[in-house]
């Protein structure tokens, strides 16, 4: 994330969990919430990645706890919540950011095991994580699901991934109704952001130029762009917003 000066402290005294947060968009969101005063709990599958990310955040003066968590592992999900509650006693913000890499196969050629993996990590894990977190969420808490612009227009090269991201739009609406009025649930649909996750797209110069041309702002997104949107939705500045999806895609066509 760009090292911008953050003057706001909207998350002072708050505890935020961000999954898949040792790099890319997840790390950017965790860093932003931390710079605004939150105690952040970061996680990903590898201990080495967790340790390195914790150090980067500590250097910036952020209060941080790192926990290894593969979101499709029930025991590791429970451990993530338990460690958070043991250390901080509560949860105010949950950002569900973990996603499986897209399959390049067409939907009708996708193996069942791949369909299961995409569904399990991109949709089901968010639900199961929130089942564990819900008893500890405070009044006025906020949940953010990370979808994708691909949820509105699943591209041929990542069609099934796009469909799982479409499911998150509906899940946002359903959870917002179920968790109201004490917890707000919103969603962010990022456009194309050059991260390790999206390397197969953004690493291709011609493809990159073509995507930039589809935006109105003539550039790809940054992790900082996504972090700013997440910080807004998670904060009391968005206290009258729930059940909504904020598209952060530089004006790439999405919907009317």
148 DSSP assignment? -
Q: Is the pLDDT of residue 197 over 80?
A: no
- Domain 15-195+222-247: CATH superfamily is NAD(P)-binding Rossmann-like Domain (3.40.50.720)
The pTM (predicted TM-score) of the whole model is 0.95
Q: How far apart are CA 85 and CA 91, in angstroms?
A: 7
Whether the CB-CB separation of 231 and 32 falls below 8 Å is answered with yes
3-state helix, strand, coil in the chain (%, to 5): 50, 15, 35
Q: Residues 54-96: pLDDT tens digits? A: 999 999 999 999 999 999 999 999 999 999 999 999 999 999 9
Q: Where are the domains of the chain?
A: 15-195+222-247
Q: Residues 31-62: pLDDT tens digits? A: 999 999 999 999 999 999 999 999 999 999 99
Catalytic residue annotation: 161
């Amino acid at each position: 994330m760009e090292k911008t000066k953050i003057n706001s402290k909207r998350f002072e005294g708050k505890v935020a969990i961000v999954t898949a947060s040792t790099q890319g968009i997840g790390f950017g969101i965790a860093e932003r919430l931390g710079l605004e005063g939150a105690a952040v709990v970061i996680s990903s599958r590898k201990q080495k990645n967790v340790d390195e990310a914790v150090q980067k955040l500590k250097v910036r003066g952020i209060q941080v706890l790192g926990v290894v968590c593969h979101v499709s592992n029930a025991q590791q999900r429970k451990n993530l919540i338990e460690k958070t509650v043991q250390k901080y006693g509560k949860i105010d913000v949950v950002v569900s950011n973990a996603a499986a890499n897209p399959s390049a196969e067409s939907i009708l050629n996708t193996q069942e095991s791949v369909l299961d993996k995409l569904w399990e990590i991109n949709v089901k894990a968010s639900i199961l994580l929130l089942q564990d977190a819900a008893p500890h969420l405070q009044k006025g808490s906020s949940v953010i699901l990370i979808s994708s612009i691909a949820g509105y227009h699943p591209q041929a090269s990542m069609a099934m991934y796009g469909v799982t991201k479409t499911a998150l739009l509906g899940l946002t609406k359903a959870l917002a109704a179920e968790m109201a009025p004490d917890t707000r649930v919103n969603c962010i649909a990022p456009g194309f952001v050059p991260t390790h996750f999206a390397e197969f797209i953004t690493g291709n110069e011609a493809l990159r130029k073509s995507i930039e041309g589809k935006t109105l702002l003539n550039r790809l997104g940054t992790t900082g762009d996504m972090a700013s949107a997440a910080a807004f939705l998670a904060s009391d500045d968005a206290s009258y917003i729930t059940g909504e999806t904020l598209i952060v895609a530089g004006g790439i066509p999405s919907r009317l």
